[in-house]
Amino acid sequence: MIPTVLSIAGLDPSGGAGMAADLKTATMMGTYGMAALTTVTIQHPGAVEEVSPLPARLVKAQIQTLLQHMPIGAIKIGLLGTTDIANAVMHVLQDTNIPMVLDPVTHSTSGTAMGEVDETVMTHLMERAHIVTPNNDELTGVVGGWSPAEWANHTATAVLCTGGHSHAEAIVDVLWVPNKGRREWSRPRIETVHTHGTGCTISTAIAAGLAKGHSIERAVEEAISFTHQAVQHSTEGGLVDTNGPLLHFKMND
């Protein structure tokens, strides 16, 4: 059977992040991508000008229809936008055991708040996920007063802290798997301004690996490699002067 990935995410009309980046990633990772839209944004690579969430009933209906009529191998959840949408997503997925990757999007790279979801609802969603993928700035908001290892063991949810938002010379991505300990991957930082959509890309790439039946560790390793290569290719020439999107299609060059 063809591996499939459902992205539950927002629309970035510039194509760099959100649903567009997720579908590109799913395709380049050898899976069939589907999408349920949560929000429409007005943005370009330099700034987010407006975030307009869809009615929660429409988000729920999109997902319900896909669950009923399409094979779904893994799910990636990105921007939700509102507590109502998060609740709708949680309820429609509560009886499924499909592997789920949650990227806890709260702010854009430019610093704009991307909506607000009640902390309790978000916690329930994260505990339902197989893996959450916060960056350095988002990690504390995920694990709270726990250490990442303690939180992973307590919730039975893996945590991948992506290191791209640090200012160190090396980027270190750290994975905590419940009751299996810690793994990390280190690579030199690529000097580039074209990194728009890296968080969406890595989380969807993990979902693609899970859809193929890979372990969390293997899915994460392949996703890190894929995202690193996409950043490398994007340094060779971007569409815009700054904060340009990853050029996923150049992976075949």
Give the model confidence (pLDDT) of 143-179 as tens digits: 999 999 999 999 999 999 998 656 667 889 999 999 9
pTM assigned to the model: 0.94
Write down the mean pLDDT value for the chain. 90
Higher-confidence residue of 245 and 92: namely 92
Q: CA–CA separation, 50 vs 198, rounded Å?
A: 21
pLDDT tens across 111-124, in order?
A: 556 678 999 999 99
Percentage of the residues of the chain whose pLDDT score is greater than 90: 70
Mean pLDDT, residues 96-103 taken together:
97
Q: CA–CA separation, 23 vs 17, rounded Å?
A: 10
Mean pLDDT, residues 37-51 taken together:
88
> Please, which pLDDT band fits residue 242 given cuts at 50, 70 and 90?
confident
Question: Residue 200 in contact with residue 17, Cβ under 8 Å?
Answer: yes
CATH number assigned to the domain comprising residue 224 = 3.40.1190.20
Strand-strand pairing, 74-77 and 4-11:
parallel
Above 60 in pLDDT, residue 133?
yes
Question: Residue 131 in contact with residue 138, Cβ under 8 Å?
Answer: no
pLDDT tens across 48-79, in order?
A: 888 899 999 999 999 999 999 999 999 999 99
Above 90 in pLDDT, residue 13?
yes
Above 80 in pLDDT, residue 27?
yes
Whole-number pLDDT of residue 253 = 46
User: Residue 245: CB partners within 8 Å, gap ≥ 6?
Assistant: 14, 15, 16, 17, 21, 45, 194, 196, 197, 234, 238, 239
The residue range of the domain holding 208 is 4-252
φ/ψ bin of 111: left (φ > 0), alpha (ψ from -120 to 50), beta (otherwise): left
Mean pLDDT, residues 88-104 taken together:
96
Whole-number pLDDT of residue 200 = 95
Whole-number pLDDT of residue 109 = 59
Whole-number pLDDT of residue 234 = 79
pLDDT tens across 14-26, in order?
A: 898 999 999 999 9
Higher-confidence residue of 90 and 241: namely 90
pLDDT tens across 183-213, in order?
A: 999 988 887 877 888 999 999 999 999 999 9
Q: Which string of DSSP letters, residue by residue, matches 198-246?
A: HHHHHHHHHHHHHHTT--HHHHHHHHHHHHHHHHHHHTT--SSSSSPBP
Q: CA–CA separation, 196 vs 70, rounded Å?
A: 30
Please state the domain count of the chain: 1
Identity of residue 31: T
Whole-number pLDDT of residue 111 = 55
